[in-house]
Structure 1
Amino acid sequence: MEEWLKISLTLSLIGFLKEFRPSEAFYYEYLVGPKNFTEDQVNREAVPTSIYSTLVLQVFAFLITDMCRYKPLIIVLGLSGVIMYSLMLWTTSLLGLQIALGFNGLFYGTEVAYYTYIYGKVDKEHFERVTSHTNAAILAGRTSSGILAQVLVSVKWMDVEQLNYISLGGDAIQFNHFNNKQYFPAMVLTTLWACLLPSVKESIYFQSEEVGLLPFSKKVMSAFVVIKGHFTQAFTNPRVVKWGMWHGFAIAGYTAMEYYIQALYSLLQTEDQDLYNGAVIAVQTFLGFCASLLAGYVSVTWRNKLDMALAASSLVEGILVIAISQTENIFLCYSLYILNSTLVYFMTTLIMGQIAKEIVENSYGLVVGIFTFWAQAFTAILTAVVSSEGTGFNLDVRGQFVVYGSYQFGICLIYVVIAITNFVVSKGTFMLELQ
């Protein structure tokens, strides 16, 4: 087997395992149920901790990932998941929960190392195939964990607390339906498989062949010269800036909504209804995969009209989110959320494909990292404004979703203005050429 394929399979397995977290489908029910935290404690104090810590730790991880050559950060990703689920299982205090969600922030913050490892270890000719493998594995992990969570809870083979043992791994779980014990290694196996990844001898900036023998101080200077060049090339391109900004805005709104959607499900649930959060995640992820795949085959020959497409997408997202905020039917809420997610997957994949055509190849990881940070920063701002106690409006769940929908309308307005401005400028230029 070729070396690049071995690396791809190992990365894919890590991607599958890190996303195989059945407890994620019912984390809200777990916290306000068996853990006995109040809704306000979860929504106002616990969830914001995860969002803010992700923002801070993402900056730290982004700065040292290339310097540490990826693998150590991927191991930290696995370990942070082990610590997080251990605390989620055994803590009984709000402070313990906040610490656990701080490690959740570390988990998401260090994902940048996983997504950029291929750029430092795999030859350029294999980038597209390895990216395809890892993306498929990640989506397979999310889909299968959602299905498993839904089946186990629906047939009452497990409760929402026991799902956390599957996410953690390495602990014996007694099925209510079976007499034998099974072992489910998820975060533990993620860490172990990360240790088996080949070390990266050269990275893009700090450990490249050109600077490998230089003293550390000169390595840093040389690296920042290359980073500055990549940054300047990307962010002096107006198309990269406006498309990347939209990507950040869209992901921020979607992420903020995703953090609180289970609280809305719980609000809409009647006494005689079961929750189908796991099934929603499975369908959402599968349709997201299909939408991402479709976006990869869309040939955008109407690049100058893309701004209006972004405006239209934000308008539709805003309508869907406002509808989600007002519905009283949980199944309608599920359906609207899945539609919104599918649209986001399609448009963000399409936009990042367009951005990739505008930048130099080795700068893709840097540019994606910057836009990811942009998105997380806006997620933190949205959270502080709409839901955090003491710093924002402290809105209830429905009120938060009204703001998220209005936020999408605001993005729509911005890109309508950009599209009209571009049209007027281009028409003026055309008239001058005729003269």
Structure 2
Amino acid sequence: AEGSGNAGESNMSVLNPTVLLCVYGFFSNLRPLEPFLTAYLMGPDKNLTETQVVNEIYPIWTYSYLVLLFPIFLATDYLCYKPVLVLQAISLVVTYVMLLKTQGMLTMQLLECFFGLATASEVAYYSYIYSVVEPAHYQRVTGYCRSIALFGSAAGSLIGQLLLSVAKVQLVHLVIITLTSAAVACVASWFLPMPKRSLFFHKSPGPAEERPHSSTTLLEKAVDSESELPLNSQDVSTSLGHTGSHNSGLVEVLRILFDDFLQCYRYQPLLAWSLWWALATCGYFQVINYTQALWENVRPSQDYEIYNGYVETLSTVLGALAALLVGYLPVCWALWGELALCALSLLMAVCVFVMDTMRNIWLCYSSFVLFRATYMLLITVATYQIAASLNMHRYALVFGVNTFVALLLQSLLTVVVVDSAGLGLDVFTQYLIYGGYFAVISMVFLLAGLYKLAYRRHSKQEEEDSPPIRDTI
């Protein structure tokens, strides 16, 4: 009876934060306005020009996200997740209040700063659960949280389109609904239990520091001559494995992170997948951020009915299905990974070129859906290939570094190509550059894949040509 009681308490300790986190994830991502944000800003409600929106307002989000990412990463761990989740929720509410009530370019730029803060704080949503449930539940609970966030995003896009097309509501009403959804998420965040531990600053021994999945992983099974040190061992960063809970200082945490950074990125397979992650995510963000402006040029919302919501919904659902498909693809990623990245990056480049040159809204929509689904498939593969060789501490570090590098590249691209302080190019010229960018990524991984195959063939040939040991004695 006592055992069943403990099991029941354990299940409840998992259920309560999981349900609250799922409620938070759903409503914080339920944003009916999002597919129509550019149309709203350029419409009669805000009356901003395309140059102001594309070249002066949207770039602020990229810069804010970059500047805030690392401080928020440390603050999330130091404050034990919940305060940063609450901060994210408040930032979203402030963003949509400003979008509803304020006018002018300067206030819209300030709004982008708040949205950048909310985006940078997403790390708290995806890491909170690891601090309040046991490792045995990690995979299941992570699946719930990620799925509900995608479902909320798809539902928001669909609701927005239906309200616009069927109910004929004004765009300002979508702002009100989005603000209401953000307010519900904000309320839910206050009821989340406060964790007692974190990965770096407030460590505790035992299950919290085990890997989410303890089975032998793909990258451990494939002994590669490029590296023989498994990165999921706990003894490399000895200070992370101390028995007894204690608080770590900032200098110690930074030293641990730097040592782990050097250790992780010496492992060449991880480095290759991380390189694609950073390069492709940079380009993906740029295409996603400015695609509404492209569609607005091809089919102005003031003159025609637009279907952005349906496209966002379909691309999100197909992206999720593509991510699920990864587990069933009979591909040896360790051998063919670079060439697969080459081929699919080239497909993404073609999609961007089609969006840029054809100037047909249906081809634009179709290319966008294919582009996004392809990225979702590849980023899922990259996530698995990277995570398979890491413990949880290094998982947080590597994904944080990859995202930071992606944002750094994106900021450089934004300054040069988009920002009015740089070239301030029109949206069609921008997409020509983004298409070329993905073509370059494809070439990089074509060369890497061919080199890898040649190296393996040469190594195999040497083994066959070398005489047996008994013949040399």
- TM-score in terms of structure 2 length: 0.84
Shift of 1:81: 0.5
Letter in 2 for 1:8: T
Other-structure match for 2:375: 344
Alignment of 1:227 with 2:238, yes or no, is no
Q: How does 1:357-376 map to 2 (within 5 A)?
A: 357-376=388-407
Tell me which of 55, 60, 77 is aligned to 1:44.
55
Counterpart contact for 2:85–2:125, Cα < 8 Å: yes
Other-structure match for 1:201: 196
Tell me which of 37, 41, 50 is aligned to 1:31.
41
Letter in 1 for 2:90: L
Other-structure match for 2:229: none
Taking a change above 3 Å as real, the CA distance of residues 122 and 213 of structure 1, as seen in their structure-2 partners, is: closer
Alignment of 1:12 with 2:43, yes or no, is no
Counterpart contact for 1:230–1:360, Cα < 8 Å: no
Other-structure match for 1:426: 456
Tell me which of 127, 130, 155 is aligned to 2:141.
130
Letter in 2 for 1:426: R
Note the alpha carbon deviations across 1:332-369, whole angstroms, 9 max, x for none: 11011001100000111011111111222332122211
Shift of 1:212: 7.3
Matched residue SS, 2:203 = coil
Counterpart contact for 2:203–2:245, Cα < 8 Å: no
Other-structure match for 1:73: 84
Counterpart contact for 1:205–1:227, Cα < 8 Å: no
Q: How does 1:240-279 map to 2 (within 5 A)?
A: 240-269=270-299, 273-279=304-310
What CA distance in whole angstroms lies between the structure 1 residues aligned with 2:170 and 2:410?
31
Shift of 1:300: 4.3
Taking a change above 3 Å as real, the CA distance of residues 213 and 365 of structure 1, as seen in their structure-2 partners, is: closer
What CA distance in whole angstroms lies between the structure 2 residues aligned with 1:320 and 1:367?
29
Note the alpha carbon deviations across 1:288-341, whole angstroms, 9 max, x for none: 111111113435434121111111111111111001101221111101100110
Matched residue SS, 2:46 = coil
Counterpart contact for 2:46–2:104, Cα < 8 Å: no
Other-structure match for 2:327: 296
What CA distance in whole angstroms lies between the structure 1 residues aligned with 2:432 and 2:193?
47
Shift of 1:137: 0.4
Other-structure match for 2:129: 118
Letter in 2 for 1:324: M
Task: Give the stretch that moved more between structures: 316-325 or 205-214.
Answer: 205-214
What CA distance in whole angstroms lies between the structure 1 residues aligned with 2:32 and 2:143?
23
Letter in 2 for 1:397: V
What CA distance in whole angstroms lies between the structure 1 residues aligned with 2:303 and 2:252?
64
Matched residue SS, 1:2 = helix
What CA distance in whole angstroms lies between the structure 2 residues aligned with 1:212 and 1:20?
42
What CA distance in whole angstroms lies between the structure 2 residues aligned with 1:259 and 1:361?
31
Tell me which of 186, 190, 197 is aligned to 2:185.
190
Shift of 1:387: 1.2
Shift of 1:119: 2.4
Counterpart contact for 1:47–1:101, Cα < 8 Å: yes
What CA distance in whole angstroms lies between the structure 2 residues aligned with 1:224 and 1:124?
25
Q: Name the % identity.
A: 32
Shift of 1:232: 3.5
Note the alpha carbon deviations across 1:252-292, whole angstroms, 9 max, x for none: 11110111101111111167531001111111111111111
Task: Give the stretch that moved more between structures: 368-377 or 313-322.
Answer: 368-377
Q: How does 1:154-193 map to 2 (within 5 A)?
A: 154-169=165-180, 186-193=181-188
Alignment of 1:381 with 2:376, yes or no, is no
Shift of 1:213: 6.1
- Mind listing any 5+ residue stretches in structure 1 that lack a counterpart? 170-185
Shift of 1:388: 0.9
Shift of 1:430: 1.8
Other-structure match for 1:285: 316
- Mind listing any 5+ residue stretches in structure 2 that lack a counterpart? 1-10, 205-241, 467-473
Shift of 1:219: 3.3
Other-structure match for 2:349: 318
Alignment of 1:105 with 2:116, yes or no, is yes
Tell me which of 81, 91, 95 is aligned to 2:106.
95
Shift of 1:37: 0.7
Task: Give the stretch that moved more between structures: 234-243 or 155-164.
Answer: 155-164
- TM-score in terms of structure 1 length: 0.92
Other-structure match for 1:307: 338
What CA distance in whole angstroms lies between the structure 1 residues aligned with 2:456 and 2:375?
29
Alignment of 1:402 with 2:432, yes or no, is yes
Matched residue SS, 2:33 = helix
Note the alpha carbon deviations across 1:359-398, whole angstroms, 9 max, x for none: 223321222111111222222122112111122x221111
Other-structure match for 1:175: none
Task: Give the stretch that moved more between structures: 345-354 or 294-303.
Answer: 294-303
Note the alpha carbon deviations across 1:394-433, whole angstroms, 9 max, x for none: 2111111110000001101111111122222222222222
What CA distance in whole angstroms lies between the structure 1 residues aligned with 2:94 and 2:194?
24
What CA distance in whole angstroms lies between the structure 2 residues aligned with 1:280 and 1:20?
16
What CA distance in whole angstroms lies between the structure 1 residues aligned with 2:60 and 2:24?
26
Taking a change above 3 Å as real, the CA distance of residues 212 and 260 of structure 1, as seen in their structure-2 partners, is: farther
Counterpart contact for 1:292–1:349, Cα < 8 Å: yes
Note the alpha carbon deviations across 1:170-214, whole angstroms, 9 max, x for none: xxxxxxxxxxxxxxxx11111111111111101011100248765
Matched residue SS, 1:92 = coil
Other-structure match for 1:141: 152
Other-structure match for 1:177: none
Task: Give the stretch that moved more between structures: 9-18 or 417-426.
Answer: 417-426
What CA distance in whole angstroms lies between the structure 2 residues aligned with 1:299 and 1:362?
30
Letter in 2 for 1:25: P
Task: Give the stretch that moved more between structures: 138-147 or 361-370.
Answer: 361-370
What CA distance in whole angstroms lies between the structure 1 residues aligned with 2:20 and 2:326?
26
Tell me which of 237, 243, 261 is aligned to 2:267.
237
Task: Give the stretch that moved more between structures: 334-343 or 225-234.
Answer: 225-234
